[in-house]
Structure 1
Amino acid sequence: MPSPAVLALGTTALCASGCVWYLPAAADLRAGADRPVSRRLAAAACLTAWVTVALSAPLLLAAASWTTLGAVTAVGTGAAVVLAALARARRGHEERATRRTWVALRLRPPARRRPSGVARSTRVFLCWFLPGYAVAAGALAVVLVGGR
């Protein structure tokens, strides 16, 4: 079984490379009311997910039990998923309010745009991250079960 220090080093490297997602999210949160609520909720979801990953490194170095590590990961992941769902619902409300405003002004609403590059990059990240995460979890299970 790999040393917890090696796993912590890998987690730290992953967090360092994830700055392309969490730094813009932090900027969105710092902007406050200049950003729509849905965007701030999505940024909070992103930061929650990355903080959960970052928190696992010190837990690995402190030789915390796998149960503790799993509980922290489950709580952090759950919170991130709830925040992301709230952001998506809020975005729908904001889009409907914008359409109602255009209709009230008796103007033709602008054509609906395709999702921005940020939304596409999130989808690409998830398409690569989730299968990799599943493979890593499977490999860890094989090492834990087969290593004894």
Structure 2
Amino acid sequence: MSRTVLALSAAVIGAAGCVWYLPAVADLRAGDDRPAARRIAAFACLTGWGTLAALALLLLAQAPWRVVGAVAAVGALTASSLSVRAWSLRRGERQEAEKWAELLGAAPVAASGRLRRAALAWGLSGVALAAAGTPFLVRQLLL
């Protein structure tokens, strides 16, 4: 498959991703009006989509596969690290909200078990797809 087709595919996927990165931009622009976990999650989202845009440009410029792979790996690692940090902060914020709810005598709002299972299934399927695609990327980098 030519790099131009790959670049065009990345650009189309990036354009379709506006449903994720436009709300993330709004969260970052809101500043301190949003919780820290939400701002970091928004930054992780923008990092991932920005990586895709960079990959589209690199593919269009006919950059070597090693450069494309390195940019993809660094972008994925950065976005993943930020997502884990946001999850950690969100967990702390949720625990603090539960403590305040207990002090005030209000019933805490917790995510349902079904929602957690669905999120876990989506996350694990993404990890499985990434693991399945890694050999193809490594093969391309070594050629």
Shorter-chain TM range is: 0.7 to 0.9
Matching residue of 1:94? 93
Pair 1:132–1:97, CA change in 2 (3 A): closer
Indicate conservation of the 8 Å contact 1:37/1:90, yes or no. yes
Counterparts in 2 of 1:19 and 1:129: CA distance versus 1, 3 Å = farther
> Where do residues 77-88 of structure 1 align in structure 2 (5 Å cutoff)?
77-88=76-87
Equivalence map 1:59-78=2 (5 Å):
59-78=58-77
CA offsets 1:32-87 (integer angstroms, 9 cap, x no match): 01100001111111110100111101101111111100000000000000000000
- 3-state SS of 2:104 partner: coil
Structure 2 counterpart of 1:33? 32
The 3 A distance-change label for structure 1 pair 68 and 122 is farther
Alpha-carbon distance change, 43 to 123 in structure 1, aligned in 2, over 3 angstroms: farther
Query: Where does the alignment leave 5 or more consecutive residues of structure 2 unmatched?
Result: none
CA distance 1:17–1:137, shift in 2 (3 Å) = farther
Residue type at the aligned position of 1:28: D
Partner of 1:16: 15
Distance 1:85 1:56, change over 3 A: same
Partner letter of residue 38 of structure 2? R
Pairwise CA RMSD: 2.8
Larger deviation, residues 64-73 vs 120-129? 120-129
Please report how far the alpha carbon of residue 18 of structure 1 lies from its aligned counterpart in structure 2 after TM superposition.
Answer: 0.5
State TM-score, norm by structure 1.
0.76
Kept in 2: contact 1:25–1:44 (CA 8 A): yes
Matched residues in 2 for 1:10 and 1:132: separation?
18
Verify the 8 A CA contact 2:6 2:56 in the aligned structure 1.
yes
Normalising by structure 2, we get a TM-score of 0.79
Task: Name the count of aligned residue pairs.
Answer: 139
What is the identity percentage for the equivalent residue pairs of Structure 1 and Structure 2? 41
Partner of residue 110, structure 1:
107
Letter in 2 for 1:17: A
> Residues 17 and 131 from structure 1, CA distance in 2 versus in 1: closer, same or farther, beyond 3 angstroms?
farther
Structure 2 CA distance, aligned partners of 1:72 and 1:92?
30
Cα deviations by residue, 1:82-116 (Å, 9 ceiling, x for unpaired): 0000000001111112222233xx3223332437x
